[in-house]
């Protein structure tokens, strides 16, 4: 498995996975514009030409808003998400980001456990943040000391 920056050639596979996993998927145009912004980081996990996972963040000054982390269903539980998140944080730190935030469905225990493993802290709830089905989001933060 190789973790690398997302390229235009990956968007169709990423978009297909997005539509399989999420009830309110992003459009192809959203991925295209996101990977073309210099402040953003988008990565894919690739194995033998197949995209098995992807993740991304939007960078603003010294913070990164993690927008999505997704792993193909048949590859879950095989540490793909773990490696994607680890690499995303490394890239972010290299860009000078000192804090990372995200929202996650309160029912998504697997994702919450992954984020806790990386020392993300629960910091609040966004009521009815998700649709299809309506559900609250847990807001999580990972902060680094400026001297780290």
N- to C-terminal Cα distance for the chain?
29
Query: Which of 63, 103, 129, 130 is the catalytic position?
Result: 103
3-state SS, one letter per residue, for 51-104:
EEEEEEEEEECCEEEEEEEEECHHHCCCCHHHHHHHHHHHHHHHCCCCEEEEEE
- Is the distance from CB of 88 to CB of 95 less than 8 angstroms? no
Question: How does 38-55 read in b/e, with b if 16+ C-beta sit within 10 Å?
Answer: eebbbbbbbeeeebbbbb
Cβ atoms < 10 Å from Cβ of 23: 9
d(CA 142, CA 72): 25
Query: Which of 42, 54, 115, 130 is the catalytic position?
Result: 115
Give yes or no: 103 in active site.
yes
Give yes or no: 90 in active site.
no
Active site residues: 103, 115
């Amino acid at each position: 498995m190789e973790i690398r920056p997302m390229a235009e050639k990956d968007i169709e596979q990423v978009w297909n996975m997005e539509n399989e996993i999420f009830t309110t998927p992003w459009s192809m145009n959203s991925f295209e514009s996101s990977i073309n912004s210099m402040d953003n980081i988008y990565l894919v996990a690739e194995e033998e030409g197949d995209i098995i996972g992807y993740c991304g963040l939007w960078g603003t000054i010294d913070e990164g808003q993690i927008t999505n982390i997704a792993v193909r269903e048949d590859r879950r539980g095989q540490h793909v998400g773990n490696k994607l998140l680890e690499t995303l944080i490394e890239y972010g730190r290299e860009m000078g980001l000192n804090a990372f935030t995200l929202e996650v469905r309160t029912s998504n225990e697997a994702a919450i456990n992954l984020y806790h493993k990386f020392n993300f802290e629960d910091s609040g709830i966004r009521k009815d943040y998700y649709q299809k089905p309506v559900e609250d989001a847990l807001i999580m933060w990972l902060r680094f000391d400026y001297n780290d």
